[in-house]
Structure 1
Amino acid sequence: MRSKRNKTIDFSLKEASPELLNQILQPNNSDLHAVQDKIINGDSFKVMNNLALQQVDLALIDPPYNLNKQYDGLNFKKMSTSQYQAYTQKWIDLLKPLLKSNASIYVFSDWATSIALAPVLEQNFTIQNRITWQREKGRGSQKNWKNGMEDIWFLTVNANNYTFNVNQVKQRRQVVAPYRQDGMAKDWQSTKNGNFRDTMPSNFWDDISIPYWSMPENTGHPTQKPEKLLAKIILASSNPNDFIFDPFAGSGSSLVTAAKLNRHYLGIEQSMLYCVWGQYRLNQVKDNQTIQGYTDGVFWERNTLAAQRKFQRHK
């Protein structure tokens, strides 16, 4: 018996309503050239050939990592380094014509996959940074260090012309030992709810947990990314009404986050089940645009939900 607090979205296709199923686009009976704000159920390597050119402001790429993994009955098998690099170059060749001249691209990977990715990404784009996300969860090992980190590669088409809204992605940290100068708070705020400092963002993200069973965004997808993580990227590297593209959309987290932040979006996903979960979440956006961990225009540290709620009540 599932706990009443368990909010995980994991219903079956048989439980999906016809209305929900009909919202998913099928490549064979849809004009895909200028489509937006939709999920396409199909193979990205085929669908991308039919999309409008130079329309994407920000691409979020979360391909299968070079690991043995099962996605809704579809198996991804680990390749040799050269094979995975060829696989990567294949989706890059399809993606590049879709990008605007000032577009940004973020590519997700684990540490081992990063070793194969780096030279291919460098050949095709300007590498602006490599972000380390402290994911926390992960299986322990008796013979190695627990894998609790993932990489996020920040890339641009043009080395100097791209969007980066640094003031949109500040992090609010609680000040433990507040420093004063001439009796005044220096670089921090004293409020009824505590002492806080809004810090500039770095390439080490230690404030984001993976979705878990009591979070409304959680689904049954095995490698789901958090909305908070995606919000940082979308806010930093796009503007309202920009076009966000995700060719490996999974259960729709990037699309849902884009919708909540008033961006247009398009996702491609080969699993119909994951497409339906994503569309179900998108249909809820109009009633709930909150992103857990993002309050008052800043990103908060982990385990500060009570402080965020208190801040909202006194605002």
Structure 2
Amino acid sequence: MKTRAPRNRTLDLTPEERDRFLQQLVCLERTISAADILNKTICQDVLVALSYLPPNFVDLLIVDPPYNLTKDFNGKVFKQCDRATYADWLDSWIAQLIPLLKPSASAYFCADWATSTAMYPVLEKHFLIKNRITWEREKGRGAQANWKNASEDIWFCTVSDRHTFNVDAVKLKRQVMAPYRNSAGQPKDWDDSGPEHYRLTHPSNLWTDITVPFWSMSENTDHPTQKPEKLIAKLILASSSPNDVVLDPFLGSGTTSVVAKKLGRQYVGIEQNVDYCCLAEKRLVLADIDPTIQGYADGVFWERNTLAVRNRPPKTIPPKS
């Protein structure tokens, strides 16, 4: 384990935890049923694993693939390539995902601005593209001769026009700066029950309320492209129902599976890196201890920095019985 500063809450694995969680991982060698892999982490190359998965079992697909950038994922380097080569790589596994989806399934694909341009034509071949979400990624380095890259995209796709979208589950609680009352003196579209004035607003495709995980957040890991739990929670709540199956074929350190578990969904995650898989398993255990999601409380999403962060003692894994 790395030596961390006292207040650093980044999750690590002890050698004992790694050995323990390694025993829980799944590696597929034949076609299996959905029941064999529900709520499991598959530690395997995605192109191999997909060929063994059963048809029509996924309600929601969440995909955060390597962007077309040279990036080191714990020793395995994804190398940037030309746009055509990257598009062919995308199509090689997206085509294998399609048979796994139910006719009513939805899918979300994460991308940066450059990856989006290569991804869109591939998605258009296989899905109905409903929207492009752009979210503010406030972390990142400035540039001397270019605009700082502070946003990412998520493509919202469906298999058909018969899909789930729970708009009331993903409303944003915003502070009202100039509250308006009707002629009877009653609040119009806002709540005056507390010292601060808020109203619930319909979700748009521009998200500015997301905080990227960092060292003082208990969900933080050393994964280089970890997505925030709050971000994934919006996708899951909007496009699935309790007990639905959520699949993430590039699980990384486990955020999709963790959030699915916290929100009462079933999950399947695929990740080829053993350490990330074990870290995902650790986070899944911790989700039983603390099921909260930063920025999401009382059934609504709050604007960034408007929901007080609760001070909690460091989380620990209970000993195996």
Give the alignment's TM-score, normalised by structure 1.
0.94
The equivalences for 1:45-84 within 5 A come to 45-84=47-86
Quick one: which amino acid aligns to residue 172 of structure 1? K
Aligned match of 1:298 in 297, 300, 306?
300
Quick one: which amino acid aligns to residue 95 of structure 1? L
Q: CA deviation at 1:173?
A: 0.5
> 1: distance between equivalents of 2:137 and 2:102?
31
Quick one: which amino acid aligns to residue 46 of structure 2? S
Q: Deviations over 1:31-82 (max 9, x none)?
A: 5654110101100100011011100000001000000001010010111111
Q: Does 1:281 align with 2:283?
A: yes
Matched residue SS, 1:78: coil
Quick one: which amino acid aligns to residue 17 of structure 2? A
Q: Deviations over 1:159-188 (max 9, x none)?
A: x21000000000001111111111111110
> 2: distance between equivalents of 1:151 and 1:82?
20
Q: CA deviation at 1:306?
A: 2.3
Q: CA deviation at 1:308?
A: 8.7
Match of 1:254 in 2: 256
- For structure 1, the 5+ residue unaligned runs are 310-315
> 2: distance between equivalents of 1:28 and 1:133?
38
Contact 1:61–1:107 (8 Å) recurs in 2:
yes
The equivalences for 1:127-206 within 5 A come to 127-158=129-160, 160-182=161-183, 183-206=185-208
Aligned match of 1:100 in 99, 102, 110?
102
Match of 2:316 in 1: none
Quick one: which amino acid aligns to residue 219 of structure 2? E
Quick one: which amino acid aligns to residue 141 of structure 2? R
Q: Deviations over 1:102-138 (max 9, x none)?
A: 1000000000010111111111111000000101111
Matched residue SS, 1:113: helix
Q: Does 1:243 align with 2:213?
A: no
Contact 1:228–1:292 (8 Å) recurs in 2:
yes
Q: Deviations over 1:251-290 (max 9, x none)?
A: 0000000000000000000100000110000011112110
Q: CA deviation at 1:92?
A: 1.0
Q: CA deviation at 1:301?
A: 0.5
Match of 2:21 in 1: 20
Deviates more, 1:114-123 or 1:15-24: 15-24
Deviates more, 1:84-93 or 1:142-151: 84-93
Q: CA deviation at 1:236?
A: 0.2
Tell me how large the CA RMSD over aligned residues is: 1.7
Match of 2:43 in 1: 41
Q: Structure 1's 94 and 297: CA in aligned 2 closer, same or farther, altered over 3 A?
A: same
Quick one: which amino acid aligns to residue 28 of structure 2? P
Match of 1:109 in 2: 111
Match of 2:314 in 1: none
- For structure 2, the 5+ residue unaligned runs are 312-321
Deviates more, 1:123-132 or 1:14-23: 14-23
Q: CA deviation at 1:2?
A: 2.6
Contact 2:174–2:200 (8 Å) recurs in 1:
yes
Contact 2:95–2:126 (8 Å) recurs in 1:
no
Quick one: which amino acid aligns to residue 71 of structure 2? K
Match of 1:2 in 2: 4
Deviates more, 1:32-41 or 1:115-124: 32-41
Q: CA deviation at 1:5?
A: 2.1
Match of 1:313 in 2: none
Deviates more, 1:1-10 or 1:28-37: 28-37
Deviates more, 1:63-72 or 1:19-28: 19-28
Contact 1:295–1:308 (8 Å) recurs in 2:
no
Count of residue correspondences: 307
Contact 1:193–1:307 (8 Å) recurs in 2:
no
Contact 1:32–1:50 (8 Å) recurs in 2:
no
